[in-house]
Amino acid sequence: MQRAPESSVRSPLNYRLGIDIGSVTAKVVVLGPDDALLFSAYRRHRAEIVATLIAILQDASEILGDLLISPTITGSAGMGVSERHGLSFIQEVIASAEVVKRLYPQVRTLIDIGGEDAKLIYFDRDGLPDMRMNGTCAGGTGAYIDEMAALLNVPVSELGALAEGAARIYPIASRCGVFGKTDVQNLLSRETPHTDVAASILRAVVLQTLTTLARGLDPEPMILFSGGPLTFIPALRSAFMAELGFGPEDVLDAPNTVLLPALGAALTQSGNRQPLRITEFMELLTEQRAAQSLETRRLAPLFSDEAERIFHLGNLDKFQAHEMEKAKIPLPPGPFKPFLSALHGLQRAGDDVPMRVRTALVTARSAPAHERAIRTLMSWDIAVDEAMFLGGLDKGPFLNEFEPDFFFDDQARHCESAALVGPAGQVLYGVKNSPNMPESEPAPAKP
């Protein structure tokens, strides 16, 4: 593996704070003069994003003092934080590309796997990036690996070591965690060695990433791997190298690759940066956190509002526990189920039909509540082309990329956001639109 030289590029602001908020983890870096890395943190936020950021900033303040910093945010869950607080934002793929262009110009391919997304960036000889990202499905990402490791009853940190003892590779579905779990459970029921199952899981991740993102363009060395799974599971890097036919000399050994988007956010020269003290930033986050309401995780009007009524009482833990307990029990249908069935019938009509219909499910749900939605569609014998589990993120940016011809939702704010992209209609259904909507219970206090 080729080791990267210690490079630095002078940026105009002395102390810059880069924050990368992913679906699973929060990464924070503080850069000083000559881009020296003064502080870094990598933590699972467990959906407590603001609380995690405040704790990290407290650590930074204790180590560095109350510095005047200029923050920029990136990451799949970072846009909402940026918009709520009026902070500078950079898309995570662009942030990662910025690091490569400025610090590692010898890199031709960046492969990144995050908690619920994957990225592949090709760089031409002039350093111009060709960026590809899969953020619509968690298949083949860190969340998928977590689920599969749980089936083997091993920590994710031990999955790679287990895979190194494999004697055989088996095909495992990687596009959907539900189907992947079925394949793994079948292998385990046949007493397949855990070593073989672990290696098969990692190869499934490799195939999913390359099939979804490469699109006929072969990755070229020098390769740079980044993201939590590729940083902490060496066997996953080895699986990529074996599939691509590369050796250690084709891979760049660079420091802090798990922090790549956060470093890019800190390095970028954005005109929207707002200098403030670390403690002032913490106060800003605290004030906004007190004013925030819970973001809903609903699926009306496609399904009934059975689960929504539990969530509307303001207790996310009860909602998640309810959905996990009933994961294998299909949700009752909502008013749009017949409509989706009719669309699916058109899709099945065959190639002779001149109009091709494409459908997408866009929901604020996330794991573990996603499984019940998927199993419900399977029980109805209905397939959708895309399923986007946003984990509470705003739907507008995703709809802007998907560019739907029609969008339906039970919330006016989502319809207003979608109307900027195309036709949208609000369905007046569910507890949210009920004139006798129950009052929310106060959210439980957090330590």
Domain coordinates of the chain in residue numbers?
2-90+261-291, 109-253, 306-433
Cα–Cα distance list, 210 to 177, 219, 243 (Å): 17, 9, 10
User: How high is the pLDDT of residue 316?
Assistant: 57
pLDDT tens figures, 95-108: 999 999 999 999 99
Task: Give the CB-side neighbour count of residue 366, counting CA atoms within 13 A.
Answer: 23
pLDDT tens figures, 403-442: 777 888 877 666 766 666 677 777 765 545 454 444 444 3
User: Residue 259 pLDDT > 90, yes or no?
Assistant: yes
Q: How far apart are the first and last CA of the chain?
A: 44
pLDDT band (50, 70, 90) for residue 309: low
> What is the mean predicted confidence (pLDDT) over 52-63?
96
Highest mean pLDDT, choosing among 71-85, 242-256, 301-315: 242-256
Architecture in CATH for domain 2-90+261-291? 2-Layer Sandwich (3.30)
Distance between CA atoms of 225 and 394, rounded to whole angstroms? 29
pLDDT band (50, 70, 90) for residue 247: very high
Do 109-253 and 2-90+261-291 fall under one CATH topology? yes
Distance between CA atoms of 183 and 192, rounded to whole angstroms? 12
| Closest-CA residue to 266 (of 390, 133, 433, 99) | 99
CATH number of 109-253: 3.30.420.40
Q: Does 437 sit behind a cis peptide bond, omega within 30 degrees of 0 on the bond before it?
A: no
User: How high is the pLDDT of residue 440?
Assistant: 41
User: How high is the pLDDT of residue 62?
Assistant: 96
User: How high is the pLDDT of residue 272?
Assistant: 63
User: Residue 29 pLDDT > 90, yes or no?
Assistant: yes
User: How high is the pLDDT of residue 91?
Assistant: 86
Give the 3-state secondary structure percentages of the chain, helix then strand then coil, rounded to 5.
Answer: 45, 15, 40
Q: Which residue has the higher pLDDT, 119 or 382?
A: 119
User: How high is the pLDDT of residue 139?
Assistant: 67
User: How high is the pLDDT of residue 421?
Assistant: 67
Q: What dihedral angle (degrees, nearest 10) is formed by the CA atoms of 389, 392, 397, 401?
A: 0
pLDDT band (50, 70, 90) for residue 295: very low
Distance between CA atoms of 271 and 35, rounded to whole angstroms? 18
| Closest-CA residue to 313 (of 332, 330, 335, 298) | 298
User: How high is the pLDDT of residue 52?
Assistant: 95
235 close to 70: Cβ distance less than 8 angstroms: no
pLDDT band (50, 70, 90) for residue 14: confident
Highest mean pLDDT, choosing among 188-197, 284-293, 401-410: 188-197
Percentage of residues in the chain having pLDDT higher than 70: 74
> What is the mean predicted confidence (pLDDT) over 347-354?
61
* One-letter amino acid of 325: E
Contacts of residue 272, Cβ cutoff 8 Å, sequence gap at least 6:
87, 88, 89
pLDDT band (50, 70, 90) for residue 394: low
User: How high is the pLDDT of residue 2?
Assistant: 58
pLDDT tens figures, 151-172: 999 999 899 999 999 999 999 9
Percentage of residues in the chain having pLDDT higher than 90: 40
> What is the mean predicted confidence (pLDDT) over 351-357?
60
The whole-chain average pLDDT of the chain stands at: 80
